[in-house]
Structure 1
């Protein structure tokens, strides 16, 4: 799912304001503490000096909180820069699955395909071919199903090697081929970047690249 960037920006602004407020309060309290410590040290009874252990402990606590607030300030600034550069939007694409036409990479996990409606057909066959155009598997499809998962098994019932494969759907009516077309598949996005023309370029599993505007759908899987 693509995150709304404006929502992230609003969240960053809120966090920044909260952190700035914390920093201001901390600085005020720390200065007050130092003044009190200095005053007590100047007016202590030489014969009964104040216990310095407690003050050392409080100084250490103030120092720890101060470092944490400074770290939060830095992280907030970096996050704001990250979002304003557009990188936040690119991150939302990574690990999602996009629906695209063309070959798909099999890495041992099932490949999900979208099966188009064939209103005039009484049967349909999925033909799977390797990069050289050689058929490695064919499956009979149910016309009522809109999705199909190829498990990677070939006609010989052996798992095919990791590679690119194409998926063609042939529709028949009374034994006659009436339609043939390439199926669309879901492929995982491994990288997203901005192209020279401002278009978002997605790198898919296996290294193939597509423009974000050219995908037909997107989904997020567990």
Structure 2
């Protein structure tokens, strides 16, 4: 079962600490104020506007801390709503735009799109350490083309399951780089939070971020 924490615990702790500190400081101030009023020189009383000013300052700080507490609660509710929406992707097939692709069971299925004017298209598959796993020359005609690979590396071994980088390099006759895009579809199997990011684990072995998903079915 996948769970995602929807409340920023650190934010809540900070807000609670600020409220506790404010309460302590206010009580200390009121005790000091009472003592000063009790022991002030009747012939030279303290200007009451000073007390009013200080009380106003404490009131302003108290209101600010209260506002911060409310904002923390609102952000927590928004985070919970966002997490619930992300959980709804589990079991759905999503379309991903990312050069981080998954290889599972020795299989890679993806597509690339290249603009018109390409004289060469070279495709390289790199592991997480940047090592070359597989490479080939691809179709240079404008449009979207499928990429399939059986996972067999140059040494005859099968590529391990996991996330790889699919680098598509398209160039024109002058050697200038052209725009290209890698897309693929896979089913979401798990959603997890890593610090402030939501990550989607896919059936094909890849792990992508929320903003890599462009559609879902």
Q: TM-score, normalised by structure 1?
A: 0.46
Q: TM-score, normalised by structure 2?
A: 0.47
